[in-house]
Chain A
Amino acid sequence: MARENEIATHHNNCLSRRAFLLRSGMVAAGSLVLPLVPGLNGQTLAAQVAHYPRMFITRISTLERHTPVLFNYPDHQRNSTCMLVKLGARAGGGLGPARDIVAFNTLCPHMGGPLVGTYKPAEQVLGPCPFHQSLYDLTRHGMIISGHATESLPQVLLELEGNDIYAVGLLGLIYGRHDNLKA
């Protein structure tokens, strides 16, 4: 909880948060930490998050395990349908005391198949895609389990402020777009 409070303190207003992210190149953004991969660093992610809108999704107290909450992010344009779910199992990028709350865009990055309604509670998996059966592991940053997509399922970066869950960024390009922020 300490960390959530810590993040929350940076959220007092959006401007200072963005300024902080851009200035500090903080390696942690939301519930994720990026490794120091050559050519990549926390700065990149921080800069990215700074440019994404911060959008309220839901309250943590109202979440039920395995009951997905649909929302649109980063806008309300085409292909923006995302899904937040409390997996009941710890997950990469997971939010909350159990680190089990994650959110993803719901279009299959192979050919845009709709994955809404394909959540499998027993396995914490999204899929199979109704088009060509691709499967995604929601505990592992939307990694493909088996299938054809050339990208992981785009993961929505989350932040917790008190009881409120916010979307603050996206890892990966949404199917069908050429830029997440230009729909």
Chain B
Amino acid sequence: MSNETSSPLFQPADSVPLPPRDADVLTTCCDYCIVACGYKVYRWPAEGPHGGPEKGQNALNRNYTLGPMQGNWLGPNQFTQALHNGRLHNIAIVADGDADVVNVGGDHSIRGGCLAQKVYSENKLTRDRLKHPLLRIDGVLVPVSWDLALDVAAELSKYVIQRHGESAWALKYQSYQFFENTYALTRLAFRSINTPAVAHHDHPSIVSGASGWVDIGYDPFPAAYEDFALADCILISGTDPYETKTIVWNEWILKGIRSNNTRVIMVNPRKTMGAAFAERHGGLHLDVNPGSDTALHLALQRIILENGWEDTDFIEQWVANKWDADSDAGQGTRDTPRQWRTTWDRFQVDGFRAWKQWLLAQEESRLDVAARITGISPEKIRQAAEMMARPRAGGKRVKTTIAIEKGNYWSNNYLNTASIGNLGVILGCGGRPGRAITRLGGHQRGGRNGGRYPDWKSPNKMPGRRRQRLDLDRWVEGGHVRFAYVVGTTWIQAMAGSQALSETFQRLTRDNPHQVRSRDKQQIIETLKQRVDSGGMLVVNQDIYLTNPIGTLFADIVLPAATWGESNFTRCNGERRIRLYSKFYDPPGEAKPDWEIVSMLARKMGFEGYDWRGPSEVFEESCAFSRGTRTDHQVLCTLAGLRGMTAHELLRSYGTTGLQCPLFLDGNEILESKRLHAFERKDIPETGPAGLSVQRRQIMAFKSHTGKLNLLKSPWGIWADFYAFMQPRGDELWVTNGRINEIWQSGFDDVQRRRYIQQRWPENYLEIHPGDARQRGIESGDRVRIASDRVPVQKGLILGIKSDDMWFSGLMKHNHIELVSGQFEAVAIVTPAIKRGVVFSNYLNKSNPANSITPRVPDPLSMNYRFKISSGVVTKIGESPYKNSFAQMSFKRRTIL
């Protein structure tokens, strides 16, 4: 009979103990998406006593049973047990039901709602946390002391720097892992070692995501979440916040749709729940072909200009004219990262009139041409333009907000961001309530540079005089890196063309003849010196879990890191709100936070000034490096000093509300900044902010040399050659990728260590249109292979001489492009939600990474990889067990309304 019955993957709990009234309560925020909802941690001894159901009997301050929307419901996934000061405690991590910012009333995502399950416990799937430093001896990673691991790492670091130069010492790191950690890491890399071989987890170089906006003068995170509820129309490009920024959708965009009749336009090849809901409520879904957004933006601009719907007053006041453009030492609008002495007349224009003239001359701005390129019906494009720009009766302007994310800027980085930025400029976006232009964001903002990037040391150079930052993947491949310090990232699968990168690591590490066979420190050091001298590489991997393959296969030293909840940390969210993330339990084994490991390593290397006694000392030192940035919080350090407390304790007093940066001091009061570019802001004193606060242009104007916005040309031609190459040929389909609501942390938490998420997403998936599926004999639940034998991989270092050297055809001509093959597998989900001719998978499944076939050819202007456009052949290879099981995976449509 067993085949007649069914088995759920696990048995969920049907009760959970409540925290007693006197439980310890600590504040923190979600560890995942940029929205960073406020959470409270309740901690009480495991043996109890527990709380009761009456309001006065529990620390949640609620009468159980709860009614709808009351907040503070404690579900089984919000509960765990952990050691605190060596003693077992009950831990409940609940979205803050009293929050009146961000996640108002205790709303939460599925991801944050399961935070308790990321806490280390010997009885849970987190039991495999790294607890001790490991060293590879005879091919096996064995536990060693901190001293031995760091003595070897420090000795090899010094040797590599002295013998092979500082550029041979590389840092690849998760660039948002809290201010304390990123500050310590970059202080070591930039200030102490001064290496250019540094890259973030998601790029081959240190780059700006919204690079076009940098040239225009828009900050990427100037908005307040409130703007999404105040806008009349929101254009969302390359993402759906329902899927990835849940609380921005739940608490802010839905509020606008329901109370302000906000029309939402979503541009995405995939019709997600947010897009379907927007359409149902008067908005639009523009089913764009991957990588074609610039043509859409050009067409929208043309319709707006031809109808005179642009915001003339705003343009008059805030757009740089010819005289502005030529001001400031003759650089004018060229005085921007990608234009100065580099691209000459390719992008800059002399003000609005010249730009309009350029736009109207572009073939791709014609509605019929744009409709053909984008695959969106002309009627929908026209409707979108009307929705976001056509003045209401009486000439009242529509308040339009524009929000973008990776589908937009990781397909055609510079042109897409420049062209949608221009759209923002002519619609008057920026600085006013409901009229924002912003990235929606990925990870939270915890990056702090503890030193300057040494641009002059990078061997990459564009035509003209502009140097580009070093491309670390190509630098490794060229054999120039001898010591790689990899912190909190998978590196391999997270980079484009990952199969080729993996082969490089194998060659430089395991295939090198010099492998450690001894436990003697001097012999270990000698062997590894021989490794690096023979052209090989030593990988030191610092992480919370042993990661495949960077840790399991390639690292010789693995260092156990402590993380969220295991040390006090600070970080900002997508509206620049800084909060304290409290330590509430003991890290596993000997694990230590990144800042502390860096401090030990740096001291062993002989560097001074790394003797921090705790995380707040690191934070206080880092505050000075926040000055003038969008997350300026120097005043926390100043005020804490005046009040005789640590900066962490001062920030703790602001709880889950925190403070919206940049912060200024007015007397002894802290002034927050709800928005950047807030040209109507009145609260900053005429004399400017007091103390050490820095008031930059972007606070009350825009982020350019004149404080005005630079309209840019965005010529389709510079993208056309690469785009033509990437177009599907024969029976290939567009292959794109992204996040899905239920998964944030692809590398460790969600799909790897939560039964609840494993039942939903046990493997990578591939959404495919019914028409494309039928042609290939594919049904939902079938296992499919996605393959390409023409993945372009850029090789060598580029010294651009002539202006076309760096475009794709120039790279091809000069043999900088090698075509390699790559494959990954997934379980098919046949759904009309994905556009015909396009398939969609998770962006990073460690076992089956979509990046196996993404092009490793970064945008030549901005060095962003184009992760979202690849093409491949999809074939059925069999049936997955989920096709006929009720325990795991669901193949139902995600857009049922």
Contacts and interface: CB of A to CB of B under 8 A. Distances in A.
A65 interface: no
B78 A145 contact: no
Contacts of B755: 37
Contacts of B64: 176-178
A8 interface: no
Contact of B123 (A39, A179, A180): A39
B760 A144 contact: yes
Interface stretch (B66-74, B322-330, B412-420): B66-74
A179 B14 contact: yes
B893 interface: yes
Nearest to B125: A38
Nearest to A133: B273
B894 A146 contact: yes
B70 A112 contact: yes
A116 interface: no
A91 interface: yes
Contacts of A146: 243, 273, 740-742, 894
A34 B11 contact: yes
A173 B760 contact: no
Nearest to A179: B15
A112 B756 contact: no
- Among A34, A131, A141, the most chain B Cβ lie within 10 Å of the Cβ of A141
B886 interface: yes
A31 B6 CA distance: 8
Interface string B275-288: 00100000000000
Interface stretch (A12-20, A40-48, A53-61, A159-167): A40-48
Interface stretch (B106-114, B476-484, B590-598): B106-114
B894 A40 contact: no
| Residue among B114, B889, B890 with most chain A CB within 10 A | B890
Given A135-B896, A179-B14, A33 B2 contact: yes
A77 interface: yes
B6 A93 contact: yes
Interface in B12-30: 12-18
Contacts of A69: none
Given A2-B1, A28-B5, A180 B15 contact: yes
Contacts, number: 205
A175 interface: yes
Contact of A141 (B17, B18, B73, B887): B887
Contacts of A154: 12, 14
B458 interface: no
B113 A150 contact: yes
Contacts of A91: 6, 886
A66 interface: no
B242 to A, nearest CB: 7
B724 interface: no
Given A37-B10, A148-B250, A178-B53, A109 B75 contact: yes
B168 to A, nearest CB: 46
A85 to B, nearest CB: 15
A79 B67 CA distance: 8
Contacts of B892: 123-125, 135, 137, 145
A107 B107 CA distance: 16
B4 A150 contact: no
B73 A175 contact: yes
A175 B16 CA distance: 12
A6 B14 CA distance: 27
A17 B114 CA distance: 36
B877 interface: no
B110 A32 contact: no
B434 to A, nearest CB: 22
Interface string A93-108: 1100001000000010
B246 interface: yes
A113 B73 CA distance: 13
Contact of B11 (A37, A114, A128, A133): A37
Given A39-B123, A120-B896, A172-B14, A112 B66 contact: yes
A154 to B, nearest CB: 8
Contacts of A107: 68
Contacts of A114: 68
Interface string B745-777: 000000000011001100000000000000000
Contacts of A37: 9-11, 755
Contact of B886 (A123, A140, A181): A140
How many interface residues does chain B have, given as a range?
Answer: 35 or more
A150 B254 contact: no
A48 B14 CA distance: 9
A128 B896 contact: yes
A131 B68 contact: yes
Contact of B8 (A125, A141, A170): A141
Nearest to B16: A178
A70 interface: no
A92 B8 contact: yes
Given A144-B110, A173-B76, A77 B65 contact: yes
Contact of B107 (A111, A141, A177): A111
Contacts of A76: none
A44 B123 CA distance: 17
A143 B890 contact: yes
Contacts of A180: 14-15
A79 to B, nearest CB: 5
B7 interface: yes
B600 to A, nearest CB: 36
Interface string B53-71: 1000000000011111111
Contact of A112 (B68, B77, B741, B894): B68
Contacts of B741: 146-148
A176 B67 contact: yes
A35 interface: yes
Contact of A150 (B249, B756, B890, B893): B756
A22 interface: no
Interface in B67-105: 67-71, 73-78
A92 B10 CA distance: 13
Contact of A173 (B2, B15, B890, B896): B15
Given A91-B886, A140-B890, A144-B742, A149 B113 contact: yes
Contacts of A111: 68-69, 71, 73, 106-107
Given A112-B68, A148-B109, 6 more contacts: A6-B1, A31-B5, A40-B11, A144-B110, A147-B741, A150-B108
17 contacts: A3-B4, A35-B10, A40-B11, A48-B11, A77-B65, A109-B75, A112-B70, A128-B897, A132-B250, A137-B892, A140-B887, A140-B889, A141-B886, A146-B273, A150-B108, A177-B66, A179-B16
Interface of A: 2-3, 6, 28, 31-35, 37, 39-40, 44-45, 48, 77-79, 91-94, 99, 107, 109-114, 120, 123-125, 127-128, 131-133, 135, 137, 139-141, 143-152, 154-155, 170-173, 175-183
Interface of B: 1-2, 4-18, 53, 64-71, 73-78, 106-110, 113-114, 123, 242-243, 246, 249-250, 254, 273, 277, 740-742, 755-756, 759-760, 886-887, 889-890, 892-894, 896-897
Q: Give the 5 A-B residue pairs with the shortest CB-CB distance, closest first.
A: A92-B886, A150-B113, A176-B66, A112-B68, A179-B15
